[in-house]
Structure 1
């Protein structure tokens, strides 16, 4: 009997089996590395595997995903394009190519459409498709399409969340959350939908409405712990100390750090700082302690606890670098203005009177953005080596030569725009790079428009002033701990455009 040429000898058959086994082993190794954030460890082996077996779409797919993890969009798109040509029927590859293209700043809508044809019920594909529409300046169409999908899939939580976010950014404030209320009309006892609606109200600080809606939810859907949680939050935020305190007491012991943060906010807001400190100190060993530390540090500062000094030693924690002469600021400004397609700020963010870009800015391939990325990475390395080598801060245990971006974006503020005081719990080092700032006559009297560091949100009534102010200047990069309260003072007129990013701890 004739045989296929490749298998005409036992040695060739064994070579084929070894090649397949090696590819499978490498792909499994890549999956394991990506699960623990170690994509860089497998990149070289994966590149060698692709050279050896260039017709294996799975290897090209894995290579694209690793490059995407490393925010290296150009080779990610190239690798995923090859994978798509080799296996055009793969929905996973089509989706990955669409996402990588979108993050790189390319036109991705048609690629998401292709992925949708291959996987019409994949919610992640539908979310990406809507994000691509928004990025390409078709925000209102994205809203209309999401509404159609939610009409027949009313329990799709992620769809409701994205729709509400887009409505807020596009100025459709009256419609914010309307899809969830419509869904609840048909599914009135769905606790997930109620929680989704409550979260939307918290994001935009509509606490009076939240309080009313929790009462309505109890009446319709019965008692549940989730309703207790949101009633405690709303009662605290609207000033009902007695009711909120009783609710927090009923929920003891509180094990979830997110709820404990709400509890420390409540106790500190009403001047019970010893109780607030006790709440925060219980979570000092928690993996998510970054959420708690800003509140605890402020409480320690009020109580005169010397432990606050490690967080409030501002001169040593903050770095100011004037590096604007090393890049084309005007070219960068032109690129960034094209990305600010929303009409208003994002829901749940600190921006007031401005817009914020969506997606990882430093994954985009425009030369102006990549030049800035290289510049800030170099400056961050210098900052860590120069200022922190002799400083023992609990969140600076990272390797100074390894810079991992946990997020990157641009903010554009105009007349009276500002940031409310906030923190970034996902990183350990945060930033503000000033691309444009209003001229001094437009800005107003100092510190109008300046960066304020160390002052908690005013609604907490802590009475703490900023530890320092930093004057904005074009080309100035300011670095500070992500857990340090930071916001900006409003300015009178003009444009203030920044790039910001968070640095994640390197793996040890």
Structure 2
């Protein structure tokens, strides 16, 4: 390699580090023509393609670089990083293993191998890799975090806590370690200790937005809503440019303090940072959840005065135009978004919803098919594609939305020690009632006229909640065991060797309360378990308070009849595909309607 070639390679590497993608790629392509097969050039071309989001091309260049020079630990590691990012964990494991095989003293390689092995469930392998990292890096804070992560993934919370506490004895003023300990304690439902750990991190100068949010939620879980609000007020002062923190504060105030202006702090912050896109984005997202689309358009006019232009704002404009019946204007903005970034899924999905509302399900279906070609597991694309099929009269709609076979009601048994199922679910209601601390429904969720618990319900150490969790797991396992073997199907085909819960919460609806028709984009199997029902729902002859399937959200303006309606009964669990439209029909009663809901994801 000539000195000139080496200098050009260094120049291209520097450009990539600075985010100067186009000049870097131009220079690298020239180098690839003048010095074909050069491993460093191919490696940098791979990194450029990865930075652009073209993972197929990136993998090609990584592997070409390794063909040219097989003993490159760094290239194997970077390939593994990318494979991990695109959920190819097994391939990532192989690549990390190759990296540390080539370079046994590659500490970062052992560190990342430990994490990915932990992710795929190889606990022994993860611990062995973590010990290799410790041998190379010593007993550092990073080592303690690694062991804590590996133990936590295996459910060994005491061992994870011990690793962090040992490190804090050595480094008592390490704010990051206190923050990690707070997260571990919060996950273990030790909320008082979690708040103390987060406060220690804050006192040591940590100003991480996630820390503020988690501290506020720890206080909330301790039923100290006043402290939670104070923390979030402090947060937006400490990190005033964080749209995410402003969003969390506004959402929390909406639920905790009805009647207050939950947007006040955000509206005060925006004029001081008028070019801050994250603040504008948070503001428009919050307005969208309230259905205030005219206000979004007014806000966008103000933002554009500051010469702010970003895909996030253009998408907000397109959706607001669609929701305010400005069909042609919305279509024009959506088309411009797709021309600017043809591979981006969010504009395509929102455009698909707009097209179905405008009477063009064929084009909507094609957009969804394009997304699924690159991302077969995109739940929202399956929901919208199925809806388009229904509007087109395509028989594939029944293949995707088989309401009779896919909606599975099952009665949950009471555990030993209760005289009846009624006694068990009455006890569950009493325990869950105490967890409903807010005054209003979550701003960004689908329920109306009620409240929802915070965080992962099944992490709580409440004995009745844990009994309920155990009985739910048995019922879910029974239902899944009866699923057909159909590997090509986007629902049936996802069944794995087991399952995990990716979220769990309780909802308490009051009179005229309901869930808007919706789906769950992150789950596989979703649910409604009825804990308590008003007499009007239990004894009524109509469908008030029932759960319905197959009706799209009202905002789409699509007239489709329910594919199935299920009457709730106390102790009955209804399981269904997460991508299936579902919602609650309003009811009238002085008694609440309480459910526990959760999402299930398959284990590989």
Cα distance per residue 1:361-395 (max 9 Å; x no partner): 12222222222223222322222221233685213
Partner residue in 1 for 2:123: 42
* 2:333 paired residue among 243, 247, 252: 247
How far apart, CA to CA, are the structure 2 residues paired with 1:105 and 1:197?
Answer: 32
Matching residue within 176, 179, 201 for 1:95: 179
1:256 corresponds to: 344
Shift of 1:441: 6.2
The alpha-carbon distance between structure 1 residues 406 and 286, as it changes in their structure 2 partners (threshold 3 A), is farther
Q: For residue 38 of structure 2, what is the aligned residue in structure 1?
A: none
Picking from 488, 501, 505, the partner of 2:602 is 505
Aligned partners of 2:128, 2:282: CA distance in 1, in Å?
43
Which moved further from structure 2: 370-379 or 65-74? 65-74
Q: Map 1:51-90 to 2 at 5 A.
A: 61-69=145-153, 80=164, 84=168, 88-90=172-174
8 A Cα contact 2:244 2:278, kept in partner: no
CA distance in 1, matches of 2:130, 2:333: 58
Which residue is 1:323 aligned to?
412
Distance 1:28 1:282, change over 3 A: closer
Unmatched tracts of structure 2, length 5 or more:
1-104, 417-423
3-state secondary structure, aligned to 1:403 = strand
Q: Is the 8 A contact 2:517 2:583 kept in 1?
A: yes
Q: Name the CA distance, whole Å, in 2 between partners of 1:310 and 1:326.
A: 37
* Residue pair 1:23, 1:49 contacting (<8 A) in 2 also: no
In structure 1, distance between residues paired with 2:280 and 2:374 = 29
1:81 CA displacement: 5.1
1:148-159 aligned at under 5 Å gives the runs 148-159=234-245
Residue 270 of structure 2 is aligned with which of 170, 184, 207?
184
Residues 57 and 87 in structure 1, CA contact (< 8 A), matched pair in contact too:
no
- 2-structure distance, mates of 1:48, 1:227: 44
Q: Which runs of 4+ in 1 moved over 6 A?
A: 21-26, 47-50, 55-60
Alignment match, 1:18: none
Matches of 1:27 and 1:224 in 2, distance apart? 37
**2:222 aligns to what?**
136
Give 1:484-495 correspondences, 5 Å limit: 484-493=580-589, 494-495=591-592
Question: Helix, strand or coil for the counterpart of 2:482?
Answer: helix
1:257-406 correspondence to structure 2 within 5 Å: 257-287=345-375, 289-326=378-415, 328-389=424-485, 393-406=489-502
SS in 2 for 1:252: helix
Displacement of 1:73 after TM fit?
A: 5.7
CA distance in 2, matches of 1:443, 1:350: 26
Determine helix, strand or coil for the equivalent of 1:492.
Answer: coil
Shift of 1:318: 1.6
Distance 2:203 2:263 in 1: 28
Q: Which runs of 5+ in 1 are unaligned?
A: 1-20
Q: In 2 relative to 1, CA 261–28 (structure 1 residues): closer, same or farther, beyond 3 Å?
A: closer
Matches of 1:114 and 1:138, distance apart in 2? 18
Report if aligned partners of 1:429, 1:479 keep a CA contact under 8 Å in 2: yes
Q: Which residue is 1:6 aligned to?
A: none
Cα distance between partner residues in 2 of 1:23 and 1:246? 52
Question: What is the CA distance between 1:228 and its match in structure 2?
Answer: 2.5
**Structure with bigger RCO (C-alpha 8 Å, 6+ apart):** 1
Q: Report if the CA contact (8 A) 2:293-2:323 is conserved.
A: yes
Q: 1:348 Cα shift? A: 1.2
TM-score, structure 2 as length reference: 0.73
| Contact 2:523–2:599 (CA under 8 A) maintained in structure 1 | yes
SS in 2 for 1:339: coil
1:285 shift after superposition: 1.8
Please list the CA deviations of residues 442-464 of structure 1 after superposition, one character each: whole Å capped at 9, or x if unmatched. Answer: 87542111111111112322211
C-alpha displacement at 1:260, in angstroms? 1.1
Whether the 8 Å contact between 1:452 and 1:468 is mirrored in structure 2 is yes
On the 8 A contact 1:29/1:42 being kept in 2, the answer is no
Q: For residue 74 of structure 2, what is the aligned residue in structure 1?
A: none
- CA distance in structure 2 between the aligned counterparts of 1:475 and 1:356, rounded to whole angstroms: 19
Question: 1:73·1:365 contact (CA, 8 Å) conserved in 2?
Answer: no
CA distance in 2, matches of 1:249, 1:49: 49
Residue 493 of structure 2 aligns to a residue in which SS?
A: coil
Provide Cα deviations, 1:267-318, integer angstroms capped at 9, x if missing partner.
Answer: 1112222222222222222325211111110110121112112222112112
Contact 2:113–2:129 (CA under 8 A) maintained in structure 1: no
Q: CA deviation at 1:485?
A: 0.4
Q: Which moved more, 1:176-185 or 1:218-227?
A: 218-227
Looking at structure 1, the residues matched to 109 and 557 of structure 2 have their Cα atoms a distance apart, in angstroms, of 57
Residue-pair matches, total: 482
Q: Residue 7 of structure 1 aligns with which residue?
A: none
Task: Using the TM superposition, give the Cα deviation of residue 28 of structure 1 relative to its aligned residue in structure 2, in angstroms.
Answer: 4.7
- Alpha carbons 2:487, 2:494 under 8 Å: kept: no
Distance between the aligned counterparts of 1:479 and 1:67, measured in 2? Answer: 32
1:468 to 564, 567, 581: 564
Contact 2:407 2:575 in 1 (8 A): yes
1:167 is matched with which residue?
Answer: 253
Could you tell me how far apart the structure 1 residues matched to 2:513 and 2:151 are? 36
Structure 1 Cα separation of the partners of residues 154 and 447 of structure 2:
28
Compute the displacement of 1:80 (Å): 4.9
